Amino acid sequence: MDETKQWLAEHRIFKSNDLEKELAVNLPFEIKPNKPNGKGVLLVHGLGDSPFSFTDVAQHLADQGYLVRSILLPGHGSKVADLMLPSLEDWQNVVHHHTQLLKEQTEEVWLGGYSTGANLVTSEALKDSDIEGLLLFSPAFKPGSSTVKFAKIASYFVTWADQDPETNPIRYNSLPMHGAAVYYDTAKIVQQDLEGKKYTKPVFMIASEGDHVIDTTFATSVFETQFTNVKNHLVWQGENTFPANNATTFSMNRPDLKIVDGSHMGLLFSPNNPEYGEKGTVRICSNGQTEEQELACEEGDNVWFSSYGIREEGKIFARLTYNPYFKQSMQILDSVMTSK
């Protein structure tokens, strides 16, 4: 941890004057439970994100007695250009290494992942029968857009898949084409690992109907047909009730909260999160709108919240960055993890 902090302190391009706070939200972390149950959970963030993604989930798990670690994938936490450096093997090796470390220090290990991280931990669990189960948040088993598969070829000619001002101290706003290509590698690999297989250990999955970053139809189909444990549970945020018996649907039509639908990242954070919560300090206005609308989002109070790309007449949107059903979602997660 000290070596990582020193390296980030020397190589990070800081976005604010509060250097210690920026380092803290980008560093890998461990939470030791007050009343240990002898079990551990390893959590893996998504593409362009940071270990802070799991700050609320990790604290909840620690409160239940788990030793929890949230790791930092290579290329993250420093500067967005560093996402041009890692390979698929770099990410796989880090996940495997920390899984083995946690296995040595606890009686059983669960793996949890968000988006790209969900791909990495699923592949790891499919190869390691000792893993107790999976916690999957917006699993990016298949991208929402088919153009991502050309990212590797495009990376030889184009540097950036998306380039925006880097203003968020917690995650990258931009995406190098190479980073997109390595994400697509994780999707290809997890699809290959899943092909023709049943996973019999418990799985908690949470996904949003409004999420167009990933192919939610593919992810939920895997949940229904290939994840077979009787205690599995899917939390579905949307207006169309998910038909499976082991699914709970929460409506995201919440005008009382100025929410019109769920988002890719809005599953992870509590409404009380100081950065991304209902009254958080970070507002993501880069949401597929015009520059004028983005400016109005940044400066105004009458802002609605949604997934990326939503537009409605007379409304200004920011990205939904928290889960209004966080407490209920964690209760369901607990029921999956305590099942035997």
pLDDT band at 294 (very low <50, low <70, confident <90, very high): confident
pLDDT of residue 308: 87
d(CA 181, CA 186): 9
C-alpha closest to that of 310 among 261, 270, 237: 261
Q: What is the pLDDT of residue 293?
A: 87
pLDDT at 339: 58
pLDDT: is 296 or 110 the higher one? 110
Q: What is the pLDDT, as a whole number, of residue 231?
A: 95
Provide CB contacts within 8 A for 334, sequence distance 6+.
64
* pTM, entire model: 0.95
Measured distance CA(9)–CA(211) in Å, rounded: 34
Distance CA 271, CA 293 (A): 24
Decide if pLDDT at 331 tops 90.
yes
pLDDT of residue 1: 66
pLDDT at 156: 66
| Rounded distance between C-alpha atoms, residue 280 and residue 136, angstroms | 24
Instruction: Give the distance, in angstroms, between the CA of residue 178 and the centroid of all CA atoms in the same chain.
Output: 19
| 3-state DSSP percent of the chain in helix, strand and coil, to 5 | 35, 20, 45
pLDDT of residue 60: 98
What would the pLDDT profile of 190-224 be if each residue is shown by its tens digit? 999 999 999 999 999 999 999 989 999 999 999 99
Q: Structure tokens of 300? A: 């105004």
Retrieve residue 51's tokens.
């270990």
User: Does 254 have pLDDT greater than 60?
Assistant: yes
| pLDDT value at residue 157 | 64
CA distance 333 to 31: 18
Residue 148 clears pLDDT 90, i.e. is over it: no
Euclidean distance between CA atoms 53 and 50, whole angstroms? 6
* Model pLDDT for residues 153-193, shown as the tens digit of each residue: 766 666 757 778 888 999 998 888 999 999 999 999 999 99
Q: Is 65 helix (H, G, I), strand (E, B) or coil?
A: coil
User: What pLDDT is stored for residue 311 in this prediction?
Assistant: 85
Model confidence at 305, in pLDDT bands (50, 70, 90)? very high
Q: Transcribe 270-322 into DSSP letters.
A: -TT-TTTSTT-S-----SS--HHHHHHHHH-S-EEEESTT---TT-EEEE--S
H-assigned helices in 30-87: 55-63
Structure token pair of residue 16: 């604010």
Helix (H, G, I), strand (E, B) or coil at 41: strand
What beta strand segments (E) does the chain contain? 29-31, 39-44, 67-71, 108-114, 133-137, 160-162, 175-176, 203-208, 233-237, 247-250, 303-306, 316-319
Beta carbons of 25 and 5 less than 8 angstroms apart: no
Mean pLDDT of 317-329: 97
> Which secondary-structure segment (H or E) carries 45?
none
% the chain with pLDDT above 70: 96
Give the model's pLDDT for residue 134. Answer: 98
Instruction: Give pLDDT tens digits for 43-78.
Output: 999 999 999 999 999 999 999 999 999 999 999 999
Q: Over range 298-318, report the average pLDDT.
A: 89
